[in-house]
Structure formats: C-alpha cells, structure tokens
Amino acid sequence: MPTRIDASGERIAFTFDGETVEARPGDSVAAALIAAGFDATRRSAISGMARGPYCMMGVCFDCLVAIDGEPNRQACMVEVRDGLVVTTQNGAVEALS
C-alpha cells in the first residue's frame, strides 16, 4: 500500500479530552488519534473497559466518540477539521428521537 506524503506540511489542530492533537489534512479522527498515541476512544457500557479503533472502515463501532457534543460518532469515518472538540464516549448513549 503506498504511503501518502503530505508535502505541504500543513497541520490541523483539534482537541481530544482537552489535549491538543495535530493531524494532517485528510486524516480521519481515528487515524489522527492513533498517530498521536491515543489507543482508546470509548468505554464499554457493560464492563467499562477501554475500547479503541479496530477496523478503521466503519464496521465495528469500537471508535465511537463525541464530536462537538454529538455522541455516537465513528472516529474512523469523520475527517479532521481545525478546531474539532472530540471527547471519549463513556458507556452507551441513547439516540435522540
């Protein structure tokens, strides 16, 4: 698989649980978090165990986070934007009707 080289050196900044994270344009939130050394994005509703990105293609839902206050977002399916506020999702969050 070819490696994408970001020749521009441009960086995007967002926060994860209050910490600033830098990413490359085009990265998913999950990819940026992994590159920054974060391995958990949510806590299981049943056991409370930490869970993190696994499939990186939107199938497993292990990378759920809250983005800009909206829970149940798949970090692997959301492209980073400057200023995003991403937080760990703790347990199950019911969908609003």
Mean pLDDT of all residues belonging to the chain: 89
Please report the domains of the chain, with CATH numbers, ordered by start residue. Answer: 12-90 (3.10.20.440)
> Is it the case that residue 97 has pLDDT exceeding 70?
no
pLDDT digit string, tens, across residues 28-52: 999 999 999 999 999 988 898 999 9
| Residues 61 and 71: beta-carbon distance below 8 Å | no
pLDDT reported for residue 24: 96
pTM, entire model: 0.84
- The DSSP code for 77 is G
Q: What are the tokens at 89?
A: 């999702």
